[in-house]
Each structure stands twice: as C-alpha cells, then as structure tokens.
Structure 1
Amino acid sequence: MGTVSLLVKLVSGLTTAQEQALLTAYGGTERTSISALHLYVVDVPAAQATAIGARYLADRRVKSVELDHVRKTAASPSDPLYSSQWNLPQIGWDHVYGSVTPTGTATIAILDTGVDASHPDLAGRVLPGYSAFAGSDPLTDPNGHGTEMAGITVAVTDNQTGVAGVAYSGVSIIPVQVLDSAGVGQDSDIVNGVIWAADNRASVILMPFSNSGFSQNLQDAISYAWSKGAVLVAATGNDGSPNATYPAGDADVVGVSATDPTDALWSGSNYGVDTFIAAPGVNIPTTNPGGTYTTISGTSASSAMVAGVAAFERAVDPAASNAVIVGRLAHDADPAGTAGQTGNGRVNMQRVVADTSSISATPVGVPGGGPLLGPYTVAALHDGDGSMTVTPTTAVAGSTGNSFTFTFTAGAGGGNMNGGAVAMTVPIGWTTPQTTNSANPGFISTATGTCDVVSTAITGTGPWTVTFTVGNCSTSKLFTFTYGGGGTKVTAPTTAGAYQFTTQTKVSGGTLTNIQPPQPTITVNPAAASKLVFTTSALSFTATLSPTAGPITVQSQDSFGNPSNPSSTETVALTSSSPDSPKFSLTSGGSALTSVSIPSSANSVSFFYGDTKAGTPTITAAGSGAFSSTVTQTETVNAAAASKLVFTTSALSFTATSSPTAGPITVQSQDSFGNPSNPSSTEMVALTSSSPDSPRFSLTSGGSTLTSVSIP
C-alpha cells in the first residue's frame, strides 16, 4: 500500500520536547518540519492514514492535519458567494470539503415557515414535508426564514450558483411548517411537528426559534424524538440575554449561541445554561425565496450551522447514535468566549468528521446545562448559577418578631465563583435591612458557612439589595445568613401575598444574573379575621317584590383589609331601613331569610335583595360568632314602570261656586307598588264629574275650563 505524508500543525507554546513526545505518541515518521508554523511532515502507512490522522486531531495540541501530496483541502467550490462565507472555513469546513464523501445519508427536519423547494440552489435537496396549517404547502415559504435555514444547511455546493451548504453531500431536508407567515407558531403545532419529524425518521431536527416559556408537552415531544435517535438543535435567541429560552433549554436539545469572525460571542446572542455549543452567526450568506440570496445574523443561523454538521456526521458515520454525535460536537469544539457564552465552545466540523470515538453526551438542559466535554470541562461556574432557600417560608400580615434564615448554595457546574457576588432583593413592605446594629430591626447577620463571604453591602430605599461579595467559594459550597437576627427582628408587610426575594449571582468579572427558579419566596398570610366589608358596589335596581337584585357580597377581613377566613362560622344578620318589607335570599328569587353565614373554610358570602319601596335604604350586615362587626351600605331602589293613577290629595269640602277655585287636586302616576313613577310617554287624564250641574275643571284657580289634563 505504501506511505503517505500528513501535514500535522501544532498549537504554539509547546516546547520542542513536548512536540517530539506528541509525534512519538501518535505514530508516523517525521520527515521534516517547518518550525515557524509549528508544522511537521509525518510519513504514515497509507492504510492507517485516516486512523492516525484522527488520533492527532483528537489532541487539542493539534490545530490541523492535512494530506501532503493530495491537497484536496485546498480546493474551493465554484459557488460565487463562497468567498463571503467566512463561517465555513471558521469551522474547518474547507478541510473537509473535497476530502470526505459520506457513505450514508441523513435528513434534517427544519421546523420553520416552510422551504421554497423551487430555489435553484436547493434543487434535489428538499423532500416532501408536513404543514401544521390546513391547506398550506410546506414546499413553499411565505416568510423566508425556513428557506434561509435550508440554504445554510444543505445548499447545493460547487454548482456555480449562490452559496455552499454546510452539509454539502449526503444530506436532504424535510420542511416541517410549524411557524406561520409572520414566523410565529404555537406550542401545539411545534409539538406535532417534532413528533411528525421523529416518526418520519429525521436524523436531525432543527428548531431555529426560541421563547422564554417552558412547555412540558414540548419537552415530552423532544424526549420522544431523542428516544427515536434524532439529534435536536435549537437557537438560544437574539435578545443578548443570559436568561434561558426554550426549546434550547430543554433536556436532549443542543442549544446554540452565535459567534462572530473573531470567535467572540455576537452582541445580540443569548447565552447561559441553555447554551450547549456555539457556531458562527454573523453576516451569513444564504438562500432566500424566489431564487434570491440574502445575508442574515442571529442564533437561527448558528443553529443551522450546527444542524448541518450533525447531519453530515450522521451521513459519514451512519452507525453513530445521536448521543455519540452530540458527544463529538461537544468534545471536538474549539475554545471561544467563556463556558457561559458558548457552552462546550465553537463547533469544529473538521474535528467532528475525523472523530471515530464513542464518547457520548445527552444535553441536560436547564437548570444546570451541559454536560461540558469540550475545552471548558474544568470551567468556572456561570453567572446565575446557584440556589437560595429561606426558612420559614410563611409569616402573618403585620406580625412582628419574625426572623428568616437564608441559605445560598453554589452551583454544581464545576469550578468556583471566587471573587464573584450574590445579591438578594428585599421587597418593599418588609423592614428595612441593615448591618450596623444587631439590636435594631432588620439586621442582616454575618454570613457563615463553607463559602467565604468577604463583605456585605445594602443599597436602595425600598426595595433593597443585599450584596454579598464572595471570596473562596467553589461548587456546592454554601453560606447562611439571618434577616431579623437582632433584637426587634422583622415586621411582615400588612398586605398578604407571596413575596419573592429575587437572588442573582455572578462569577468574577461577570454580570449579576437571576438564578434559575425557584427563587426564595415568603408567603404572608392574612391576620385573624376581625371585620366585615361589603366588596360589591352599592346597587341601583328597580323595585321588586322578589329578592333578585345582586349579588351583594360581604367579606370577612383582617384589620389590614386582607381577606381572611373566620376562625369559626360567622353568622351575618341582615336588615334594611326600608319602610316596606324587604327580603334577602341566598339565590336570585329564592326563599327569604334574615341571616347568612361565612364558614371557616371561606371568607365571604353573597346574597340577593328585594325591596318594593323606592328610595335609598341602608342595609346592615351584623356579624357574630368568630368576631363582632357591623357594616352598612346604601342601595338605590328605583320605581318600576308607571301602571296606575292615584289621587294623592284628600277629598275637598268647599262652598258651591261657578268658578273652578277649589283645590288643588293632584293625580299621580305610580308603579304597581305605589311608588311615584313617570309615565314612559305623555299620559292624558280625562276629567269628569257625577254632578248634575255643569262642573268645571281648570289648571289654575279660576282659569279657563278644560276636560282633560296631561302628565308628561
């Protein structure tokens, strides 16, 4: 078979002895060297060239390995935009293209807005897909985002057209349309898309979208797809935030942040515990619907890069499991930024393709992230790592003499947070925290424990931030402190509810970042019930014989106005100032009663009211039993529709006269209950008399005679 030569390039900084020891360890015969480039020409048996080259590449002291005499790695594709695709050589793609031809095939299910399958640079790469939207064709793309992802992953390469794809051979895409024309999708559609992709044997499932909300159903779908052998890849998001997003933060998902040409984290990229790996994501040329091209930036682009590498590796090594492929992605990544920014580092396609190891990894997801197999296996803890607990977790509204013990535990991600800080917010309503006098209220005690706290500072005027500067503090170590450890301790807020003492952490040189839930929370419960309060507005209703007005709600409260259950059944007597016979009932139109009750399992009772007398009666609720309390509320009773006429002046007795001067006589329109009521329209009132004479009626004393009057 003969021999071939490998060009083995080492990292700088090694001594000559270290370089020679490395060459001896991995085999081959040194023929010559180029010291300025730390480059060695090593002759190896042709039959063992691939295996020996892989051994060299697995060592992080080796930057690259190339064939000497057959320089396929120097070939460039004929795609005219390739010169702008800095992202490909950044991941070692140029060392793979022209040298590696996959023996198998793989598919990438792109969960997105669809893909323009008619694009000339995607010809022959797009398989039939699935759409979550009735009547929609996944082989079209009304938005463009899905087509952009397709171009990055599998654009036809060396066709003198457009761009080159990461997976230049052996890989096809399956459009799974789960986002609408605006690029927005619901969890239910995405869950269906993941399941469909898994059931249709997708090798890689790309989810280039993010949301801060966790969905257990989506996690279940992802776990199902992982069990089917799929590698799942997701974008972390473009908010420049360390807060976790999903699905990147889900277990079994490779969350991807974005880097720039200098391997620094892109300023818009999210990062944190949901980040498993990074890839180039700035100014990435790709396909656009309608046969055009565009340049995009973001974690969608970087996640597509990783999806392309994962799918290409599956095509190169069809026997590799999803866990092995993910393990290779992590183990073979290049250092870039910090572990908090890029997880295992920036993806290196050349190393992944050359890796024949069986190292495996299953992404853990939030809260811990990882595992870290790449250059950050012994990494410092991240900003936002750690947990804070509090005991006790409850207090009574307005109570005094409270004391709470908080315990902070450093994260379990490896390394230390020496020189970092832990900051906890004390919400408004609590006693002002202080560190100056242990005999005064709100004293924050000195922190003690296996974590060394150098100093404690308090800032703010409500809410307040208590910041602990950390000295020596490594994985899983802790410290405790007491809020209210002094003489008069802490007074709880008078408003009941859950109060979160938001905690943030940072490593040395980092940024204070919220820890993952749960945050320490103290629930303030109501004090003892001591009064009754009407919680519904005063009524205004039409006079009625039946108790149908309402409901009216009376509530038992503590002295601060918090709803509070009575300690035992509270009987509430109901009365009204109405001169009529008002009625109360538990249900609309129900049986009349004179009292209601609030059981110890509740804090309110509702009832209905009926009154036939128009006016403003005052109803009174008088409580007895668990406590004594009386509360009143004035209601408005309006007259019903006018339905009758009534003389409201007494019968006259007067001396006979030919002029209409006796009176006045008043006739009134009333409702059926006798309440004065305006007619809905002018009411004509004809006037007659049984007198045998010729009686006269007039609107004024001695005025013109008439036979009718009207009520407007």
Structure 2
Amino acid sequence: MAALLCAVSSVHPAPPAAADSIRDHQWALSAFDAEATEKLSSGRGVTVAVVDTGVDGTHPDLTGNVLPGKSFLAGGGRADRETDSVHGTAMASLIAGHGHGPGNSAGIKGLAPGAKILPLRVNVDGNLQFGSVKGVAEAIRYAAEHGASVINLSLASPSSARVLEESVRYARQKGAVVVAGAGNDGTDTPNYPASLPGVVSVGAVDVSGKIWAKSNYGSNTLVAAPGVDNYSAGLNHQYQTESGTSDATAYVSAAAALLRAKFPHLTAGQIANRLVKTAKLPDSVAGGKLPDKHYGYGFIRPYRALAEDIPAGARNGPLPGSAPSASPEDAGSAAGPGQETTTVKDGSVFVVRGVVGAAGIGLLGALAVGVIRRRRPVVPPPPVSGRQPPGPDFRQ
C-alpha cells in the first residue's frame, strides 16, 4: 500500500536560546501537576520501548535515559543516534526527558523522567522510505523480549496484518502495556495497531480538556491525553511544537511507566484499569454513556491513578482479549465490537502526527507519494507568567 506521513506542518518554533523558557510552555506538566506526581513515581526502573524513527540520545534533555536500541530498517544497527528524523526523539522527550542545566530546570521534561527509553527504529520520515507493518511487528516482539514493560506506538496504518496482531498478542503475554495513537484524521476510521485487541488506544485533547478536532474516534479510544501545542525535543539539540495523537500516546505511555514503577505486580490490564478508573470527562460530555466515542473514559489523571486506592480488579481490566490464541491475561475476555482487523500481506505505516512546528529543522509536509523538506525562520516563544494553564486541572 502507498505510504503517507501524516504531518500537516505549521510553525511554532522554539530556538535553543529559549530553552530556559521551554518548560513553562509545557502546559501538560502543569495540568498533570507533574511535580507532585513525580514524588509518587518517576518511572525509575521501567523501560519504555519507542517504536518510531529512532531517538537522538545525545539531546541534553535525554542523555543517560536512552538505551542503544535497534534499527529494523535496512542496515540495522543501533537506534539512539538519530539525527535526521525528529519524531522518535520528540516522543522520547515527552516520556522520559529530564531537562538540563541547574536543577534540570531548562528544556523538556517528560512525565516519567526516571524511565529508560528503548528506541526501535522502524520509520524514516523526511524521505520516501517508510517502515512496514512487518517491521513494526518485529520491533514490538523485540521490545517484549528485551525488558520493555510499556510499548509506545505513535504510528498508525489504515490496515493491519496477522503478523502485527500476533506481535501485540505476544507482547501482552509478556505483560507489556501496549499504547497506540488513534490517528489524526478527525474521522471514525479505525487505525492499527490502535484498534487491535488489548491495545490502549489514545485520543488527543487540548489545554481545556476538549477533544482535538483531528483526533480519530473509530479506533476504540480508551483514554485521551494532551496532544495539542506540545513542546518537545527536536533535532540538533533544539526544540519544536506539535499536535497529534502521537503526543497523547507518549503521555499515556509515560503514565503507564509511572504506574509500572509503583505497582510492579499489576498486569497490563490492571494498569489500564487505574488509568480508566481515574480518567475524567469534560463537563460538556460528563454523564453520558461510557466509553464515549471521542474521549473513551476521559483524559488521564496520572496523579490520581498513582494515589487513589483502587482494587486491582480482573487481570485484563478494561482491555479486550486478544483471541483466538489468548494469553492467561486475556482468558475469559472476548473482543469487543469493531475489533476485527483487515488482514493484508504487508502494509505501510505512517507516523501519527498532526501539526508540527520545528526550530531550525526540516519541516515535513505530507504528499500523496512523499514528503517535502522545508526550513523556516525561528521566533522565540512568548513569555509565560506562571505554569498553570487555563481550563481544567487534570489532577483534580
């Protein structure tokens, strides 16, 4: 199938000189009350696999938190020295960035700064090479076999394949929490792997808690997370802003890492149960039937997921089973409506990203058969007074 890189470009740059103000622009950290959350868990001891474009482990906000990883593209090799493609670095920073400078107060901080990133390179953005479903499936299996208890899939395809479904089932058998973006088309078209049984499918919300207009709602959305106007690490040790269910997926993976660190004996389904039981819907849709088709059970509240007294519940929690050859964790659970997959011999995967702005890096625009690289001037971000954004507090 023809591949598309979902990257509708718009510029909201953040140059290196503004690194000390980047943190104040990370509205998701304020909404989550990340400082209080980190006192309960930092994700230390947990490995999160980022199946993506590779990661620049030399970025000052990521040094020491990125493992060598592996490339599943031609030539193989490690995946922690990526200097051409930004997406994986951005996702890694939202998960496990630790900042830099005095007290690590400058630059990007992730929600789980104590976690380790296992970068697995399956995509190349910025040119005509893209990862295949088979490559993604191999990376998922590799992650499960190499200590990743959370697997972040900020990528999607309109088609699935049996090999992808089997790899997700295998990761579930190994106990991994598998998290994937619902997609950025603003339609009810299901994407994969988000629609596969047992995957935590994630939608994107803005600073007010409202669902992003381009967030798909046909991929069995379970929860939502901040996915609009997020600052993240960029190429050349710089920064960028972006919007998309990719970012939301990274934040849910980070929340899962926090829970894994604090509750190591919980199953993947029980981790998902904590996220669901503490999620919140905006007042505009509260009281409706759950799961809501756009929000799932609501936007995540990691502090509450860590702090509240919640019974462990069934091993599979709210996640549908991965029949037919289900693991013990999946036993007794049937796939819910809309869980069928379209099997193809092999399909192409595109990065789940919406609006991207970059600081001094190549910008990406999606075409029917390729990607155009562009450069734009940089502008410092405006000053911010205080760190609490308008709208709901995602902790309360």
Question: TM-score normalised to the size of structure 1?
Answer: 0.39
- What is the distance in 1 between the residues matched to 2:299 and 2:313? 18
Q: 1:104 to 1:320 in 2, by over 3 A?
A: farther
Alignment of 1:450-469 (within 5 A): none
Matched residues in 2 for 1:161 and 1:172: separation?
Answer: 20
Distance apart, 1:88 and its partner CA: 1.8
1:363 to 319, 336, 340: 319
Aligned equivalents of 2:169, 2:20: Cα separation in 1: 38
Aligned to 2:145: 199
CA distance in 2, matches of 1:256, 1:210: 12
Query: Which amino acid letter does the alignment assign opposite residue 233 of structure 1?
Result: V
SS at match of 1:192: helix
Determine which structure has greater relative contact order: mean sequence separation of CA pairs < 8 Å that are 6+ residues apart, divided by chain length: 2
Quote the Cα distance in structure 1 between the aligned partners of 2:145 and 2:308: 28
Q: Please name the residue that 2:70 is paired with.
A: 130
- Alignment match, 2:302: 349
Q: 2:109 aligns with which of 146, 164, 173?
A: 164
CA shift, 1:209, in A, is 0.7
In structure 2, the partner of 1:507 is: none
Question: Residues 89-139 of structure 1, C-alpha deviation per residue, up to 9 Å, x if partnerless?
Answer: 223424313x32458510100000000011010011001201112144311
DSSP-derived class of the 2:151 partner: strand
Q: Secondary structure at the match of 1:341?
A: coil
What's the counterpart of residue 478 of structure 1?
none
- Provide the rounded CA distance (Å) in 2 between the counterparts of 1:212 and 1:80: 38
Match of 1:186 in 2: 132
2:97 to 155, 160, 163: 155
Match of 2:294, SS state, is helix
Matches within 5 A, 1:332-347: 332-336=278-282, 339-347=292-300
Identify the match of residue 120 of structure 2 among 147, 152, 176. 176
**Contact 1:255/1:275, CA 8 A, preserved across alignment:** yes
1:166 maps to a residue whose letter is L
Return the letter of the residue paired with 1:334.
Answer: K
Question: How many residue pairs align between the two structures?
Answer: 293
Q: CA deviation at 1:237?
A: 0.8
Give the alignment partner of residue 308 of structure 1, picking from 219, 239, 254: 254
Out of 140, 160, 166, the residue aligned to residue 214 of structure 1 is: 160
Q: Is the 8 A contact 2:43 2:112 kept in 1?
A: no
Aligned to 1:202, what secondary structure does the other structure show? Answer: coil
CA 1:155–1:314 in structure 2 vs 1: closer, same or farther (change >3 Å)?
A: same
Q: Residue 68 of structure 2 contacts residue 78 of structure 2 at CA under 8 Å; is this kept in 1?
A: no
Within the alignment, does 1:119 sit opposite 2:49 as a pair?
Answer: no
State the distance in 2 between where 1:332 and 1:325 align: 11
Uncovered stretches (5+) of structure 2, i.e. residues with no partner: 1-18, 286-291, 323-335, 342-396
Contact 1:328 1:359 in 2 (8 A): no
Aligned 8 A contact 2:43 2:260 in 1: no
Q: Secondary structure at the match of 1:201?
A: coil
CA–CA distance in structure 2, aligned partners of residues 101 and 219 of structure 1: 31
- After superposition, give the CA deviation of every residue in 1:133-177 in whole Å (9 maximum; x if it has no partner): 2144311222110001011111114513212111022x1100011
The alpha carbon displacement at 1:517 in A equals: 7.6
In the aligned structure 2, how far is the partner of 1:365 from the partner of 1:211? 21
Structure 2 residue matching 1:340: 3-state secondary structure: coil
- 2:386 aligns to what? none
For 1:106, the equivalent position in structure 2 comes to 46
Q: Is the CA contact 2:53–2:122 (under 8 Å) kept in the aligned structure 1?
A: yes
Q: Indicate yes or no: 2:151 matched with 1:228.
A: no
- Which amino acid letter does the alignment assign opposite residue 342 of structure 1? Y
Q: Match for 1:175: what amino acid?
A: P
Deviation sequence 1:317-355 (CA, Å, 0-9, x none): 222221211110111111136511011110101111113
Q: Name the SS for the 1:121 alignment partner.
A: coil
Give the C-alpha shift of residue 181 in structure 1: 3.8
Offset, 1:362 = 4.6
Partner SS, residue 40 of structure 2: coil
Q: Partners of 1:347 and 1:301 in 2: how far apart?
A: 13
Whole-angstrom distance in 1 between the partners of 2:35 and 2:212: 23
Give 1:262's match in structure 2, choosing from 200, 208, 212: 208
Displacement, 1:356? Answer: 4.4
SS at match of 1:304: helix
Q: Distance in 2 between matches of 1:244 and 1:184?
A: 20
CA distance 1:282–1:188, change in 2 (3 Å): same
222 and 309 in structure 1: CA distance in 2 versus 1, 3 angstrom threshold: same
Note if contact 2:191-2:218 (Cα within 8 Å) is conserved in structure 1.
no
Q: Which moved more, 1:352-361 or 1:186-195?
A: 352-361
Q: Within 2, Cα distance between the matches of 1:517 and 1:109? A: 26
State whether residues 245 and 274 of structure 1, in contact with CA within 8 Å, keep that contact through their aligned partners in structure 2. no
Gap change, CA 1:343 and 1:125, over 3 Å in 2? same
Any idea what the Cα deviations from partners look like across 1:534-593, whole Å, max 9, x if unmatched? Answer: xxxxxxxxxxxxxxxxxxxxxxxxxxxxxxxxxxxxxxxxxxxxxxxxxxxxxxxxxxxx
Q: Give the alignment of 1:230-249 within 5 angstroms.
A: 230-249=176-195
Q: Which residue of 1 aligns with 2:360?
A: none
**Structure 2 match to 1:684:** none
CA distance in 2, matches of 1:347, 1:89: 14
Question: How far apart are the structure 2 equivalents of 1:186 and 1:194?
Answer: 13
Cα distance between partner residues in 2 of 1:363 and 1:516: 11
Distance 1:198 1:356, change over 3 A: farther
Task: After superposition, give the CA deviation of every residue in 1:450-492 in whole Å (9 maximum; x if it has no partner).
Answer: xxxxxxxxxxxxxxxxxxxxxxxxxxxxxxxxxxxxxxxxxxx
Q: Once the two structures are aligned, what percentage of the paired residues are identical? A: 33
State the Cα deviation string for residues 207-226 of structure 1 (Å, max 9, x = none).
00111112221011001001
Matched AA of 1:364: P
Distance change in 2, residues 1:362/1:126 (3 Å): same
The secondary structure found in structure 1 opposite 2:94 is helix
* Corresponding letter in the other structure for 2:70: Y
Assess, with a 3 A threshold, how the Cα gap between structure 1 residues 101 and 235 changes in structure 2: closer, same or farther: closer
SS of alignment partner, residue 197 of structure 2: coil
Q: Give the distance between the partners of 2:105 and 2:44, measured in 1 at CA.
A: 25
Contact 1:104–1:315 (CA under 8 A) maintained in structure 2: yes
CA contact (8 A) 1:79 1:164 kept: no
